[in-house]
A = this chain, B = another copy of it.
């Protein structure tokens, strides 16, 4: 009930923000449907902690004076405030139970953590899309999901919960090599999903990254490969090594990514004997955050 006694149109009207490091997307969601949205580059890296109240007020001015759920790096030490990680195995109910309430209608979604002996992992933001894909029926209840990017997430879902996951800093390594170091001047060309990329995937499957990367320089120095293909080969190498560590022949992978990056991972998965399906990551996010909102109500 509003203060004036009128009933709100629907209990599930709210604003969801997918607030990443570089970008943010905000959605006004009514009964599980996006009725308005905005996207800009006011990511956590460019918003000071003290400015979040004003940023949130601005979003409400534009999209509606509604409850808000904020997911992603907004909940990290580079965001508004650092919120907890829920230990995997975890499903949407576990995430909803651990929402961090900034005030009585504004909450930050927790991340997930995972430990397996000395190996440890964290995610923050991806859990909404990954679990949302399951909740929306976009992927089976038992599945391997892949969300490529700077830090590529591979999550195993069982009975609707993420039971384990691995982050590979595949995109970050590519960016570092493209910007700094001995290979940088060879890697300026665009990455294309063709023969050079697939040759890189095959080389990457050897899982001997530091040596395979140097071969890019050697092939250039010896005139065995055109530097115009070097970025595609390097991308194939990194994505191939990542994928080969995660799948075997016959594995099915559900990919949540923009089309260009998704096509590269799909190409690598196919080359390594797997099968891939592209999942609509916005639909997955909206489904996941709506379910969290419902569970928290």
State which of B115, B173, B214, B224 has its C-beta within 8 Å of the C-beta of A210: B173
Asked whether A146 is an interface residue with its Cβ less than 8 Å from the other chain, the reply is no
Which of the 9-residue segments A46-54, A92-100, A200-208 touches chain B?
A: A200-208
* A262 vs B121: C-alpha distance when bound (angstroms): 31
* A256-284 with Cβ < 8 A to chain B: none
Number of copies: 2
Query: What is the interface residue range for chain A against chain B?
Result: 35 or more
A186 CB → nearest B CB, Å: 13
State which of B203, B210, B214, B217 has its C-beta within 8 Å of the C-beta of A238: B210
A204 CB → nearest B CB, Å: 10
A157 CB → nearest B CB, Å: 18
Please determine whether A241 and B177 come into contact, CB atoms closer than 8 angstroms: no
Please determine whether B118 and A208 come into contact, CB atoms closer than 8 angstroms: no
Given A176-B180, A218-B113, A211 contacting B167 (CB threshold 8 A)? yes
* A165-191 with Cβ < 8 A to chain B: 166-170, 172-173, 175-177, 179-182
Asked whether A141 is an interface residue with its Cβ less than 8 Å from the other chain, the reply is no
A66 neighbours in B (Cβ, 8 Å): none
A18 CB → nearest B CB, Å: 20
Please determine whether B115 and A167 come into contact, CB atoms closer than 8 angstroms: no
A209-246 contact mask (Cβ, 8 Å, vs B): 1 or 0: 11111110111011010000000000000100110010
Please determine whether A180 and B182 come into contact, CB atoms closer than 8 angstroms: no
A152 neighbours in B (Cβ, 8 Å): 210
Given A210-B241, A214-B151, A218-B113, A120 contacting B172 (CB threshold 8 A)? no
- The chain B residue with its CB closest to the CB of A200 is B118
A170 neighbours in B (Cβ, 8 Å): 210
* A221 vs B121: C-alpha distance when bound (angstroms): 9
A236 CB → nearest B CB, Å: 11
- The chain B residue with its CB closest to the CB of A150 is B182
State which of B113, B203, B207, B214 has its C-beta within 8 Å of the C-beta of A222: B113
A95 CB → nearest B CB, Å: 17
Asked whether A136 is an interface residue with its Cβ less than 8 Å from the other chain, the reply is no
A193 CB → nearest B CB, Å: 18
Please determine whether B210 and A207 come into contact, CB atoms closer than 8 angstroms: no
- The chain B residue with its CB closest to the CB of A85 is B222
Please determine whether A169 and B182 come into contact, CB atoms closer than 8 angstroms: yes
- The chain B residue with its CB closest to the CB of A77 is B221
A185 CB → nearest B CB, Å: 11
Q: A122-B221, A210-B242 are in contact. List 6 more A-B contacts (CB 8 A).
A: A119-B215, A168-B211, A169-B181, A169-B182, A207-B245, A209-B210
11 A-B pairs, CB-CB below 8 angstroms? A118-B203, A118-B215, A120-B222, A121-B215, A169-B181, A172-B181, A175-B181, A206-B245, A208-B245, A209-B209, A210-B238
